[in-house]
Amino acid sequence: MKNVCGRVAAFWRSQPLFRRLYIGGILFIGAFAFLGETGEHIVSDILLNGSGQMLSHVQNIILWTTFTLIVAAAECFVLISFLKRVIGHFTSVIYRLAAGERSARIAPEMTGRQDELGLLARAFNIMAEQREQEIAREKELLAAVSHELRSPLTRLSVSVELLRRQQVPPEFLDRLSLETERMEALIGSILEYSRMEARVQPFGYLDMAALVREVADDVRFEGSVRGCEVKDDLPDSLVLFGNGEMLRHAVENVLRNALRYTPDDGKIVVSMRAVDGVCRVTVEDNGPGVPESALKQIFRPFFRVDASRQRASGGTGMGLSISESAVRAHHGRIWAENRAEGGLSVIMELPLAPNKETV
């Protein structure tokens, strides 16, 4: 008997919420008639006490209506209590989020349900989690921007003061020009990162292989000045659904980062493959690599493994974070690995375009 009851209970829990409401409504109406009729007969027997008399038609209607309303009230109370508890829990979590408690989530007993309410609860938690991450990134970006702008602004102020006193050594003019260029590059990177995060660019079908080939040609020309070799291993064509400008920035920043840390006469290899429904772009260099503890952090805005080396190379610390934001906007992922033979490998995976063939 326990096995039968357990199977019935499991079957009931596996049904969608609206199907259960439909079945419950049928049982609800049936209970009206059955319990109302049964209650009428029981009470009439008690009132007449076996005297053989019959209740009038009006009395029968009154008894049936009374017991039907009692049953309806009990069933409505159970249903309303359940809905009140569910809605109350959702409302409480929403108010906690609105009050600034970003960790507020729908309880596990609600997200574990296998019906529409469970689906709604899980979707709500995913939304809250993404919003919490966005706020954390915004705060981190604001703190990093404040820190990054403070030093060049201080040096610019000192340079301006020296100009006012007409004591202008050439090295200070050079420093003023350098700091101005760095400020322009930093502001440009911040604006680009903001556009990536806003995700307002239109999407369409594009040839990712052709896009990467163009970027590789540009970086190859720049690297030739230092004797750096840029090799590519790309298919003739590979179609994605995305925004060409965002993806160009993603690939370009990864390649330029590799070029920045590749020694003179070094080598960079960019390759592309279609693997398990995704386009995998890999950029490998033979530079110094990155400490294992920093492999995930290099995609954060303004993170620097070596701050002095990054500034000396002219970087703003935003390149890889822009790449990460662009890849994330395309529902892809990006990560870095140290190569066994030395250097760094950065891998980007992007979903292939649906209903399109690759050549």
Share of the chain above pLDDT 70, in %: 63
Rounded Cα gap, residues 135 and 155, in angstroms: 31
Exposed / middle / buried, residue 243 (Cβ in 10 Å: 0-12, 13-18, 19+): buried
**Least confident window among 8-12, 169-173, 274-278, 316-320:** 8-12
Assign 135 to helix, strand or coil.
helix
Q: Is pLDDT of 233 > 90?
A: yes
How do residues 121-135 score in pLDDT, each as one tens digit?
A: 888 899 888 888 877
Q: Which of 41, 57, 89, 147 is catalytic?
A: 147
Is 86 or 201 the better-scoring residue by pLDDT?
86
Q: Is pLDDT of 321 > 50?
A: yes
How do residues 245-259 score in pLDDT, each as one tens digit?
A: 889 989 999 999 999
The CA-CA-CA angle for residues 27, 31, 33, to 5°, reads: 125
Is 174 or 347 the better-scoring residue by pLDDT?
347
Is 143 or 212 the better-scoring residue by pLDDT?
212
Output the pLDDT for position 317: 73
Q: Does residue 179 contact residue 152 with C-beta atoms inside 8 Å? A: yes
* Neighbouring C-beta atoms of residue 356, cutoff 10 Å: 12
Assign 99 to helix, strand or coil.
coil
Share of the chain above pLDDT 90, in %: 21
- Calculate the CA 244 to chain-centre distance: 21
Output the pLDDT for position 95: 85
Q: Which residue bears the tokens 């870095």?
A: 336
What average pLDDT score do residues 22-28 get?
Answer: 61
Output the pLDDT for position 202: 80
Assign 201 to helix, strand or coil.
coil
Is 273 or 102 the better-scoring residue by pLDDT?
273
Name the DSSP class of 352. B
How do residues 41-94 score in pLDDT, each as one tens digit?
A: 555 555 555 545 555 555 566 666 666 677 667 767 777 777 788 888 888 888
Q: Does residue 248 contact residue 281 with C-beta atoms inside 8 Å? A: no
What average pLDDT score do residues 267-282 get?
Answer: 93
* Neighbouring C-beta atoms of residue 63, cutoff 10 Å: 20
What average pLDDT score do residues 313-323 get?
Answer: 73
Average pLDDT, the chain: 77
Tokens, residue 225: 């000045």
Q: Is pLDDT of 309 > 50?
A: no
Report the Cα–Cα distance between both ends of the chain, in Å, rounded: 62
What average pLDDT score do residues 149-169 get?
Answer: 69
**Least confident window among 42-46, 48-52, 202-206, 316-320:** 48-52
Q: Which residue bears the tokens 């330029």?
A: 256
Tokens, residue 213: 């080939």
Distances from the Cα of 154 to the Cα of 102, 308, 316, angstroms: 36, 17, 17
State the helix-helix crossing angle for 17-48 and 57-98, rounded to 10 degrees: 140
Distances from the Cα of 9 to the Cα of 2, 14, 21, 74, 81, angstroms: 10, 9, 15, 22, 20
Name the residue type at position 298. Answer: I
Give the full edge-to-edge strand order of the sheet including 267-275. 229-233, 267-275, 278-285, 344-351, 333-338
Output the pLDDT for position 280: 95
- pLDDT band for position 272 (50/70/90)? very high
- pLDDT band for position 358 (50/70/90)? very low
**How much is the pTM?**
0.55
Output the pLDDT for position 322: 85
Tokens, residue 129: 């989690």
Q: Does residue 53 contact residue 87 with C-beta atoms inside 8 Å? A: no
What average pLDDT score do residues 345-357 get?
Answer: 80
Tell me the three-class secondary structure of 313-330, residue by residue. HCCCCCHHHHHHHHHHHC
Q: Is 147 an annotated catalytic residue?
A: yes
What average pLDDT score do residues 319-339 get?
Answer: 90
Q: Is pLDDT of 101 > 70?
A: yes
Output the pLDDT for position 359: 34
